Amino acid sequence: MLVCRRETLLTADLADRMLMMDPDNGLYFELDTIGTDIWRRLATPVPVAHLVADLTRDYDAPRAEVERDVLALLHDMVAYGLVTAC
């Protein structure tokens, strides 16, 4: 699955955190360091498998753990309309 982030969100990059606002519904979101890293990696559409592989390599973490965490974050982001399958 290819993931795309929604470009109509208002964002503020605070070094290791990302603040986001959805102007359509007035909701605010904050991403931690790793969530911010993932958001940055979604600047261009990316297959989930590539995202997981890259994060596994860069964080030297077990693939199963990275995949679980990435899928959970993406699930939440889809639920709030921050990312979509493209």
The domains of the chain are located at: 2-85
Which pLDDT score, from 0 to 100, does residue 34 have? 96
CA distances from 73 to 11, 53, 66, 81 (A): 17, 16, 11, 12
The first and second tokens of residue 31, run together, are: 């991403």
Q: What is the pLDDT of residues 11-45, one digit of tens each?
A: 999 988 999 999 999 999 999 999 999 999 999 99
Q: Which CATH class is domain 2-85?
A: alpha beta
Q: What percent of the chain has pLDDT over 90?
A: 94
| pTM (2 d.p.) | 0.92
Amino acid present at 7: E
Which pLDDT score, from 0 to 100, does residue 41 have? 97
Q: What is the pLDDT of residues 43-77, one digit of tens each?
A: 999 999 999 999 999 999 999 999 999 999 999 99
DSSP collapsed to 3 states, 35-77: HHHHHHHCCCCEEHHHHHHHHHHHHCCCHHHHHHHHHHHHHHH
